[in-house]
Structure 1
Amino acid sequence: MAKLSLSGVSKAYGATLALRRGDLDIEAGEVHVLLGSNGSGKSTLCKIVAGSVRPDKGEVLIDGRPVTISGPQAARALGIGIFYQELSLSEHRSVAENICLADLPGKSGIFVDRAALEARASRYIALFAGVAGEGFSAEALVGNLRADQRQLVEIMKALSSEAPVIIFDEPTSALDRAQVDRFFEILRQLKTEGRGIIFISHRMDEITAIGDRATVIRDGETIRTLKLSETDPAEMIRLMVGENSDLPSAEHELPAAGPSAGAPLLSVRNLSGKGFRDVSFDVLPGEILGFGGLHGQGQSAVLRALFGASSISGGSLELSGRSLAVANPRSAIRSGLAYVSGDRGRDGVIQGRPIVENAAPIHYLKERLLLARPSALRDKVLPALGALHTKFASLAHPIGSLSGGNQQKIVIARWLIERPEVLLLDDPTKGIDLAAKADLFNLIRQLAAEGMAILLYSSEDAELLGNANRILVFNGGAVTRELTGADRTRYNLYQAAYEAA
């Protein structure tokens, strides 16, 4: 009997179907791998199991009994633990407190029992003795730890649930080889105890090293479950990609080859920083260079570093043959770089302010303006908004009155008033409708045709395959492969992302 079973589970967010049909069986004593591209439905399926998302339809069984997982607490009560890819730690609490956060031992009904807390946490800290690194202790504040150490705390937190079923969503992404090896030793021990493990990883070597079976999810549907000992990486990737893996995006024809000769506009050599290492590439005027690979492999980190939003620890930059130093976004803007984030709430929109103010800040910065006549500002802003077919009632209306797609158009339009030399696009279509996406990519291709150099990261494969002249595939913070010409296929994109070559 399966320890956990899902049958016909689905979830929609308005018109968006995140999970069409999720089927999954987790046996006692196995590591069951979930495979699928960005947006395939893996995370939605895991969130349903963990109780953070309620399914619209379908059945969930634990040890053969139908259950309703009404929330995270209900999931814990039913014996389900989870490691989230987005760490859920409290930076101002200690390692021990974070490990036991879901169930802090009490004393006298009011206070935390510090001795019991330390004793419980020490059991899980001891599992990683010798590989956790300097400064890692029960008393250390999580906010003072390195990225790999914080990830270990999140793993310990999941292990402390002692749940019969535990979900690990990309738990090794920040760990070094010694830490991964130790973690896999722990997983093998959990298997002998009869636990059921759901495991998601972007590394094919890890999948084949620790997994027993794998379920492939594509476009929101469970495609197939297979034994890893009886298949190979190429077959898994074919199942993830589907039949038409060698065809370009249906949304656009293959883009023109782009410029093949001439001096690079932007040259990057051995660039390293938080989340990426030794990244090198050139971008020619008029070229769209795509950043591909699974989500969170360093693509966004590189773009933010180029824009001065995060620090660079090594490497060099040249713009038009001259050395380039970007200390902060202001210096990047004045050097001719622009940045558009898909997270417009964090990185783009100025909430509570009118549309005109949201469209004009780069113009103010480049022209060093303190004041501007409304009519002159309107004359600058309207052509840029018109180029993106932006819908709005008045420039005086607050930006919050617009749809998400039109808000993103405002954020992009601000860069069209004072044209940059290099445009950095960090998953720019996240959360916007198809019509807005079409407007955006029509403009991107037009800007490239006019000689602008464009770096495009997208979590949607079709957007890269349909618009980028070349694609650099990222894995673990480094570029693992460059795809050009006829090699720009979904299959090759997945193969490089999962290191199956």
Structure 2
Amino acid sequence: MSRLQLKGVGKSYGATKALRHADLDIEAGEVHVLMGSNGSGKSTLSKIVAGSVRPDTGEILLDGKPVSITGPQAARRLGIAIFYQELSLAAHRTVAENICLADLPSRGVFVDRTALEARAAKYIALFDGVTGDDFSPDAVVQDLRADQRQLVEIMKTLAGEASVLIFDEATSALDRAQVERFFEILRDLKRQGRSIIFISHRMDEIFAIGDRATVIRDGEIVGSRQIAGTTPAEIISMMVGAQEETATVADAAPARPAGPPVLSVRGLTGPGFSDIGFDVRAGEILGFGGLHGQGQSAVLRALFGANSPTAGSVELGGKPLHPKNPRATIRQGVAYVSGDRSRDGVVSGRPILENVMPIHYLRERMMLANPSALAAKALPALQALKTKFAGLGHPISSLSGGNQQKVVIARWLIDRPAVLLLDDPTKGIDLSAKADLFSLIRKLAGEGMGIVLYASEDAELLDNADRILVFNGGAIRRELTGAARTRFNLYQAAYEAA
């Protein structure tokens, strides 16, 4: 019996079609797995069902009747609950308060603490024995470990007692015992007739808990399979599609350029990653692959000094590098470019010249600046990236997103670094700007710079990286070189058991 149906559902963001005419049927009493690469449309589909995104086309039916899901509250009233990949907890509130946050029991204008604690206890008891000794109803969420916070979010989702439950990467921070307990709960919910949409990057989990799997590729649903009657290889083939190409990096180029490494990492461990080790050689573009949020960005930020590692060693040009803070790593020759311009890039409200020069200020320890001299240094770097701007005195906000990102990259080209760390640098910019950026990146590598590139778009890695290290669960699971740099191998390593 169909519990939830999507017919011709589509969603576009400008020229980008995030979801195209999606048809999906979720039955009562099943765990239905959604699979696809980064940006394939899984989360967009989930958010449409949960009411946080409004579709442009199509209709949604619940128990055979068309429904209008106008927002998250409307979804909850219809019996739909979602666990978002980005946790939505109130950090300064207690575990019990977060579990009941969507529907706090009250007496008049006051919260009924007795009823709240009794309701929360029901869901906490489901995970008895796997939460940790310091986990309690009155524990403040911000004081909990990452796995405990994720458990609170799961409990909060379960507390809605919804007939349709969506779990988007709900197991990403959990240990094996916690996952097994969660799966026991899901199986019990199946027996009750609940419908569950499940998204995971772990192939072993998909085959352990799923009944059916639907594959989404480039915003389109390409097919569904009964889990019991398929294999991981078949599902990955559906994700890849007919194209099976190696990277377009020149085949004649050696996978591991000769010469000593410019960056050596051994046993690097910190929040979100463990025991990371690799070398980057002069002239090499080393790719970080895998599904989003598997530790790639955390490693890059740790190497830059934005997040402190707890163990391991790093060498830059054969000398110890202690990434305690960005100021120290910048002066030693490490550069970092983030795709999050608003957080890590542009200085909002300031002129283009001021946005392109801060690294030069820092490295030269400048106290006073001559604008003409600075402009003479800034212009070649901006021109190398084909940056379009009216004048250096214009505000950074006058530029398009792509040109703002070019300014952020240009600031590192004035005083060339030894190593360039690229953390999904093309996020949110147009195709023309991407082409300019990667043309320059390949040119810099050709001049001997060591480059580490994390890209959430697989094609960017396959087209540009000499080697690809595939991350899963905060660890490197596989290295792809030469002819092994294929989309199939990239997906297989990304989804293999953690």
Residue 402 of structure 1: aligned partner: 399
Residue 107 of structure 1: aligned partner: 107
Residue 14 of structure 1: aligned partner: 14
Measured in 2, the distance between the counterparts of 1:156 and 1:27 equals 23
For the Cα contact (< 8 Å) 2:127–2:181, is it kept in 1? yes
Aligned pairs for 1:109-128 (under 5 A) are: 110-128=109-127
For the Cα contact (< 8 Å) 2:10–2:57, is it kept in 1? yes
SS at match of 2:310: strand
Judge which range, 303-312 or 18-27, deviates more.
Answer: 18-27
Please give the TM-score of this superposition, normalised by the length of structure 1. Answer: 0.98
Aligned pairs for 1:75-474 (under 5 A) are: 75-108=75-108, 110-248=109-247, 256-257=253-254, 259-474=256-471
Measured in 2, the distance between the counterparts of 1:254 and 1:84 equals 41
SS at match of 1:386: helix
For the Cα contact (< 8 Å) 2:255–2:481, is it kept in 1? no
Residue 496 of structure 1: aligned partner: 493
Letter in 2 for 1:468: A
Could you say if the C-alpha distance between residues 254 and 73 of structure 1 is closer, same or farther in structure 2, counting changes exceeding 3 Å?
farther
Q: List, as ranges, runs of 4+ consecutive aligned residues in structure 1 with deviation greater than 4 Å.
A: 252-255
Measured in 1, the distance between the counterparts of 2:329 and 2:385 equals 24
Matched, 1:35 2:32: no
Measured in 1, the distance between the counterparts of 2:478 and 2:464 equals 18
Please give the per-residue CA displacement for 1:428-448, whole angstroms capped at 9, x wherever unaligned: 000000000000000000000
For the Cα contact (< 8 Å) 2:251–2:482, is it kept in 1? no
Could you say if the C-alpha distance between residues 60 and 484 of structure 1 is closer, same or farther in structure 2, counting changes exceeding 3 Å?
same
Give, in angstroms, the shift of residue 295 of structure 1. Answer: 0.3
Please give the per-residue CA displacement for 1:437-495, whole angstroms capped at 9, x wherever unaligned: 00000000000001000000000000000000000000000000000000000000000
For the Cα contact (< 8 Å) 1:34–1:217, is it kept in 2? yes
Measured in 2, the distance between the counterparts of 1:81 and 1:230 equals 29
For the Cα contact (< 8 Å) 2:91–2:140, is it kept in 1? yes
Letter in 2 for 1:272: T
Measured in 1, the distance between the counterparts of 2:352 and 2:245 equals 43
Letter in 1 for 2:82: I
SS at match of 1:127: helix
Give, in angstroms, the shift of residue 36 of structure 1. Answer: 0.4
Give, in angstroms, the shift of residue 20 of structure 1. Answer: 1.1
Letter in 2 for 1:425: L
Measured in 1, the distance between the counterparts of 2:421 and 2:39 equals 22
Matched, 1:486 2:486: no
Measured in 2, the distance between the counterparts of 1:255 and 1:13 equals 40
Aligned pairs for 1:45-84 (under 5 A) are: 45-84=45-84
Please give the TM-score of this superposition, normalised by the length of structure 2. Answer: 0.99
Could you say if the C-alpha distance between residues 248 and 263 of structure 1 is closer, same or farther in structure 2, counting changes exceeding 3 Å?
closer
Could you say if the C-alpha distance between residues 205 and 259 of structure 1 is closer, same or farther in structure 2, counting changes exceeding 3 Å?
closer
Judge which range, 316-325 or 460-469, deviates more.
Answer: 316-325
Please give the per-residue CA displacement for 1:90-133, whole angstroms capped at 9, x wherever unaligned: 1011111111111111112x111111111111110111111001
Measured in 2, the distance between the counterparts of 1:409 and 1:266 equals 25
Letter in 1 for 2:35: L
SS at match of 1:416: coil
Measured in 2, the distance between the counterparts of 1:322 and 1:366 equals 19
Measured in 1, the distance between the counterparts of 2:3 and 2:366 equals 65
Measured in 2, the distance between the counterparts of 1:125 and 1:202 equals 26
Give, in angstroms, the shift of residue 254 of structure 1. Answer: 6.0
Give, in angstroms, the shift of residue 7 of structure 1. Answer: 1.2
Measured in 1, the distance between the counterparts of 2:405 and 2:121 equals 47
Could you say if the C-alpha distance between residues 255 and 159 of structure 1 is closer, same or farther in structure 2, counting changes exceeding 3 Å?
farther
SS at match of 1:280: strand
Letter in 1 for 2:117: E
Unaligned runs of 5+ in 2: none
Give, in angstroms, the shift of residue 341 of structure 1. Answer: 0.3
For the Cα contact (< 8 Å) 2:246–2:483, is it kept in 1? no
> C-alpha root-mean-square deviation of aligned residues, in Å?
1.2
Measured in 1, the distance between the counterparts of 2:268 and 2:279 equals 12
SS at match of 2:2: coil
Please give the per-residue CA displacement for 1:169-196, whole angstroms capped at 9, x wherever unaligned: 0000000000000000000000010000
Measured in 1, the distance between the counterparts of 2:238 and 2:254 equals 29
Measured in 1, the distance between the counterparts of 2:294 and 2:47 equals 21
For the Cα contact (< 8 Å) 2:286–2:468, is it kept in 1? yes
Letter in 1 for 2:322: A
Could you say if the C-alpha distance between residues 253 and 262 of structure 1 is closer, same or farther in structure 2, counting changes exceeding 3 Å?
closer
Measured in 1, the distance between the counterparts of 2:322 and 2:148 equals 31
Give, in angstroms, the shift of residue 259 of structure 1. Answer: 4.7
Letter in 2 for 1:102: A
Letter in 1 for 2:77: A
Letter in 2 for 1:127: L
Please give the per-residue CA displacement for 1:163-222, whole angstroms capped at 9, x wherever unaligned: 000000000000000000000000000001000000000000000000000111111111
Measured in 2, the distance between the counterparts of 1:338 and 1:101 equals 42
Measured in 1, the distance between the counterparts of 2:154 and 2:40 equals 24
Residue 2 of structure 2: aligned partner: 2
Please give the per-residue CA displacement for 1:313-348, whole angstroms capped at 9, x wherever unaligned: 111111111111111000110111000000010011
Give, in angstroms, the shift of residue 413 of structure 1. Answer: 0.5
Letter in 1 for 2:182: F
Letter in 1 for 2:291: L
Measured in 2, the distance between the counterparts of 1:254 and 1:55 equals 43
Measured in 2, the distance between the counterparts of 1:296 and 1:136 equals 25
SS at match of 1:29: coil
Measured in 1, the distance between the counterparts of 2:31 and 2:107 equals 37
Measured in 1, the distance between the counterparts of 2:55 and 2:493 equals 33
Give, in angstroms, the shift of residue 256 of structure 1. Answer: 3.2
Letter in 2 for 1:359: V
Unaligned runs of 5+ in 1: none
Measured in 1, the distance between the counterparts of 2:443 and 2:250 equals 15
Measured in 1, the distance between the counterparts of 2:18 and 2:138 equals 41
Could you say if the C-alpha distance between residues 172 and 255 of structure 1 is closer, same or farther in structure 2, counting changes exceeding 3 Å?
farther
Letter in 2 for 1:40: S
Could you say if the C-alpha distance between residues 259 and 33 of structure 1 is closer, same or farther in structure 2, counting changes exceeding 3 Å?
closer
Letter in 2 for 1:34: L
Letter in 2 for 1:184: F
